[in-house]
Amino acid sequence: MNALLQQFIQESREALESIGSTLLTMEREPGNTAPLGELFRLVHTLKGNSGLFDFPALTSVLHAAEDVMDAVRNGELDFNQQLADQLLSTADYVSEFLDEIEQSEQPGDGFRVPPRDLVDGLRAWLVKNNAVAAIEPALETNTEEVAAPAWFTELSDEVRQQVADSLEEGQRLYRVEYRPASDCFFQGTDPLHLVRQLPDILWRRVSPVESWAPVSELDAYQCNMRIEFLLAIQEEDLAEHFRYVSDQVSWEAVTSAVLLVPAPDEDNRQSIIQGSEAVDPLVRDIVSTQQLALAACLAQSWRSGQQAAIVRTLKNVLSAYPVLHEALEHSVAEADRQNSAAPIIAWFQTHWQAGADQALEVTKEGNQHGEAVNVKSTAQLDSDALASAVSLETTRAPIESSASRRQEEAGSHVTPKVLKIEQEKIDRLMNLIGEIVVAKNGLPYLAERAEDQYGQRELAREIKAQYAVVNRIAEDLQDAIMQVRMMPVSFVLQRFPRLVRDIARKLGKKVNLILEGEDTEADKSMIEALADPLVHIVRNSMDHGLELPEERVNAGKSETGTLRIRANQNADHVVIVIEDDGRGIDPQKIKAKVASKGLVEQAALDAMSDQELVNLVFLPGFSTAEQISDLSGRGVGMDVVRSGIEKVGGQLRLTSQIGKGTQLSLTLPLSMAVTQVMVIESGGQRFGIPMDQVMETVRLPKDSIHTIKHQPTAQLRGRTIPLKSLNQMLAVSEEQVLNEDEEYALMVLRSRGELVGLIIDDFHGSIDIILKPMVGILGELSGYSGTAVMGDGSILMILNPTELFE
């Protein structure tokens, strides 16, 4: 993948995470306007970055979102829950778009054209805010009738008939709005030329984005126009045509509903001189603009530079219309004789248009209100076509240019410099650390051989000294690289505000999510392993644990439930606790459900304590849901959660109180990169057992073993501990070895919260190893976590006691 594209995807995902959390903060705190600036900056940056690539659909969506956020930032639009939903849906689309790009580097068929329902839904907020009628986007069925827009009443009978004929023939009609960037001329863009390249435009209107400044203050190098037009075209072709300015163009489909509006009365038609209906619309636009320009410079002496340019423009564009051109020439000659522009003004009023002064006043009022004016004259219809059609010089900059705004935003948002490194490079460093660990573990073997086989005690001492140095450097290097791999748990937790919000609204519940300890760090692999289990736990808590508002009120609780997720570091482990104040887990209900499904024998159920009954929720196929839904009830869940946690060397503990709530505690090692194991021997073979599961090692006299219900047990420190023989579990025929004192080597392990004694042949100390998972057929073996290379080159099998004891 292209390095620039890869960086874009990475930065966009980071921006999406910030956008989502900021939107949720604004939704929770309606009066808090502080995040508005940051939110707009994020959306603006995301849109700007998308313009570096050929992603017109993405840019169009982000441009619509940017306009909405700009309106909110400027106080023109109130932020509410419905708007938050729309913007979150936009973030979801952007995330799906990034997934598509990450997979194939190019947008697929579903991402080549912007989703009209999403874009039009965003634009609708601006339309509602300006109190302007708009066409609702056609639904997927394209059968729903919608109200006709005001602009349709401006069309002539001929154009209206063309629209009707096009719709009857099944053609797709679009009403397009093109707002060129204020600095488009510096970007090599000719807006009018771009529009004129489109075939068969049925209708067009050009209007200023802002009211015109005095002529003396006009900036000829900044564009100030809005071009609206109607045409029959395929949406894909339209998106392709405007692909390089996609953030400046929006369009909406025209449906048959517009034909329901009656034709405008003759009194409301544009008053055009006889024969001007046959004049090209572009010519009418230009002439009308010249009328406005001439009215703006009447105070100047006749034939000033600007007036002379107006006369030349009028003569050029009317040269193809002899009657109009002859009348204009006569008026110009009279103006030269009188040394006044009055004859030209009279020509406009007499030959071109009646009531021009009234039209100018309407235009002025419309511009003051900042709205598009529904004009009655050709002059008022297109007040700035000259800006693009003739000289591209009668335009004005927006209130704030994009360049100055970018500079202001850059100055107000200073981010620390961060060196971004690809994950593969860090993983390679970790692999090299593993090689160093294996290599240094070989030094003690060399020292032992030097002393035992060659009698070189002094050499053995030097090797051990060098081993101490290498070991220290390796540990420091390992710690340094681990710090690079360490990530805060907020990387996972930041998705839960949105998840809780959506599920709560779907279930009709009120939930207050509290996140604590988000800055707690763990290895990247452990953080990623937490993601799916945590999501499932939260969904279960929302669905089964927390009650509906009325149920909580009846139980004497607040109608808003509390879901708390807290993280903290405990020695070399990270602990994640998820707790709610819901209804809790009823042990008797669990017991009845398990009995009805036959998952456990009734006699065993009767002997279980309440805590043991609660733990039955981890049984495969267990579910308390009465109905299957997309949230729960399929019997696949908590057992998968426990297996996923245990697979990475973690432990899960569940406690619950009826009516008070439930708590799940996840304990995971900080890192899986370097693992410390106890080397043991059994059946003539050596194995490794992770040290985090080893509680203690003892020598157990043979006569201390007693059998209770066919289960060997032993009393250890006042507790009865079940015993397991490793040889029996591994199907090794040899009996476990006793030492000279008739004692067994016993390891006390903790498995799923319970203590179990494992009888082995002997202990051989602990070492650091790099755990390598087994692949292929061996990967399907239960009871093994993986393998490790010893210092002497041999392979050590690492056992998984939890799986062995099942």
Which of 258, 231, 226 is CA-nearest to residue 133? 258
Residue 200: inside a domain: no
> Would you state the pLDDT for residue 109?
76
Assess contact for 426 and 485: CB atoms under 8 A: yes
Residue 56 sits in a domain of what CATH number? 1.20.120.160
Question: Identity (one letter) of the amino acid at 112?
Answer: R
Residue 260: inside a domain: no
Residue 574 sits in a domain of what CATH number? 3.30.565.10
- The angle at the Cα of 569, spanning 618 to 765, to the nearest 5 degrees, equals 80
Cα distance between residue 747 and residue 798, in whole Å:
15
pLDDT tens per residue, range 319-377: 777 777 888 888 888 888 888 888 888 777 666 653 333 333 433 444 444 333 333 33
Residue 78: inside a domain: yes
The two three-digit tokens of residue 218, written as one number: 């006009």
Residue 766 sits in a domain of what CATH number? 2.40.50.180
pLDDT tens per residue, range 212-239: 788 778 888 888 888 888 888 888 788 8
DSSP tag of 351: I
Residue 593: inside a domain: yes
Asked if 497 and 620 sit in the same domain, the reply is yes
User: Parallel, antiparallel, or unpaired: how do β-strands 685-690 and 795-799 relate?
Assistant: parallel
DSSP tag of 772: B
Question: Identity (one letter) of the amino acid at 714?
Answer: A
Cα distance between residue 120 and residue 128, in whole Å:
12
User: Parallel, antiparallel, or unpaired: how do β-strands 719-725 and 754-760 relate?
Assistant: parallel
Cα distance between residue 386 and residue 394, in whole Å:
7
What is the number of residues in the chain? Answer: 806
Residue where the block lists tokens 């059968």: 143
Residue 219: inside a domain: no
Asked if 493 and 479 sit in the same domain, the reply is no
Question: For residues 638, 640, 644 and 650, what is the CA-based torsion angle, rounded to 10 degrees?
Answer: 40
Cα distance between residue 374 and residue 119, in whole Å:
25
Cα distance between residue 591 and residue 356, in whole Å:
88
Where among 131, 149, 165 does a domain terminate?
131
Residue where the block lists tokens 């990247």: 524
Assess contact for 159 and 153: CB atoms under 8 A: no
Report in angstroms the alpha-carbon separations of 180 from 60, 248, 292, 398: 14, 6, 21, 11
DSSP labels for 31-64? T--THHHHHHHHHHHHHHHHTTTT-HHHHHHHHH
pLDDT tens per residue, range 50-73: 877 778 788 888 888 888 888 888
The two three-digit tokens of residue 258, written as one number: 């517009």
Where among 383, 398, 413 does a domain terminate?
398
Q: What is the pTM (predicted TM-score) of this model? A: 0.55
> Would you state the pLDDT for residue 374?
35
> Strand, helix or coil at 574?
strand
Assess contact for 684 and 644: CB atoms under 8 A: no
The two three-digit tokens of residue 608, written as one number: 């279980």
Residue 689: inside a domain: yes
Asked if 392 and 537 sit in the same domain, the reply is no
- The angle at the Cα of 259, spanning 253 to 261, to the nearest 5 degrees, equals 115
> Would you state the pLDDT for residue 369?
41
Asked if 481 and 501 sit in the same domain, the reply is no
The two three-digit tokens of residue 731, written as one number: 């199907």
- pLDDT band per the 50, 70, 90 thresholds, residue 403: very low
- The angle at the Cα of 358, spanning 354 to 361, to the nearest 5 degrees, equals 145
> Strand, helix or coil at 73?
helix
End-to-end CA distance of the chain: 45
Which of 385, 407, 390 is CA-nearest to residue 225? 385
Residue 81: which residues within 8 A CB-CB, separation 6 or more?
Answer: 27
Residue where the block lists tokens 């969904």: 539
Residue where the block lists tokens 């041999």: 794
**Cβ–Cβ contacts within 10 Å for residue 624, how many?**
16
Domain containing 608: what range? Answer: 489-669
Asked if 24 and 103 sit in the same domain, the reply is yes
Indicate whether 11 pLDDT > 70.
yes
Which of 639, 487, 672, 652 is CA-nearest to residue 576? 652
Lowest mean pLDDT among 17-31, 153-167, 780-794: 153-167
Q: Mean of the pLDDT values across residues 408-424?
A: 59
DSSP labels for 164-223? HHHHHTT--EEEEEE---TTGGGGT--HHHHHHTSS-EEEEEEEESSPPPPGGG--TTS-
Cα distance between residue 526 and residue 491, in whole Å:
11
Residue 184: which residues within 8 A CB-CB, separation 6 or more?
Answer: 191, 223, 245, 248
Where among 669, 703, 724 does a domain terminate?
669
Q: Mean of the pLDDT values across residues 584-598?
A: 86
Q: What is the share, in percent, of the chain residues with pLDDT greater than 70?
A: 82
Residue 288: which residues within 8 A CB-CB, separation 6 or more?
Answer: 353, 377, 378, 379, 380, 381, 382, 383, 385
> Strand, helix or coil at 346?
helix
Residue 157: inside a domain: no
> Strand, helix or coil at 124?
helix
Which range of 24-28, 104-108, 365-369, 659-663 scores highest in mean pLDDT? It is 659-663
**Cβ–Cβ contacts within 10 Å for residue 726, how many?**
24
Between 806 and 288, residue with greater pLDDT: 288
- The region, left, alpha or beta by phi > 0 then psi within -120 to 50, assigned to residue 227 is beta
Assess contact for 360 and 296: CB atoms under 8 A: no
Asked if 463 and 496 sit in the same domain, the reply is no
Question: Identity (one letter) of the amino acid at 558?
Answer: S
> Would you state the pLDDT for residue 153?
65
> Would you state the pLDDT for residue 378?
33
Asked if 371 and 463 sit in the same domain, the reply is no
Asked if 603 and 648 sit in the same domain, the reply is yes
> Would you state the pLDDT for residue 267?
47
Residue 542: which residues within 8 A CB-CB, separation 6 or more?
Answer: 500, 503, 504, 507, 509, 511, 563, 631
**Cβ–Cβ contacts within 10 Å for residue 720, how many?**
12
| 711, burial (CB in 10 Å: exposed 0-12, middle 13-18, buried 19+) | exposed
Cα distance between residue 89 and residue 115, in whole Å:
11
Q: In what order do the strands lie in the sheet with 225-232?
A: 201-208, 225-232, 173-178, 249-254
Asked if 639 and 498 sit in the same domain, the reply is yes
pLDDT tens per residue, range 470-509: 888 888 887 788 788 888 888 888 888 888 888 888 889 9
Asked if 454 and 522 sit in the same domain, the reply is no
Residue 322: inside a domain: yes
How distant is the alpha carbon of residue 774 from its chain centre? 35
Assess contact for 671 and 770: CB atoms under 8 A: no
Asked if 586 and 657 sit in the same domain, the reply is yes
Question: Identity (one letter) of the amino acid at 335?
Answer: A
Asked if 335 and 477 sit in the same domain, the reply is no
Q: Mean of the pLDDT values across residues 202-206?
A: 84
Between 101 and 621, residue with greater pLDDT: 101
Cα distance between residue 361 and residue 377, in whole Å:
12
Please give the tally of structural domains in the chain. 5
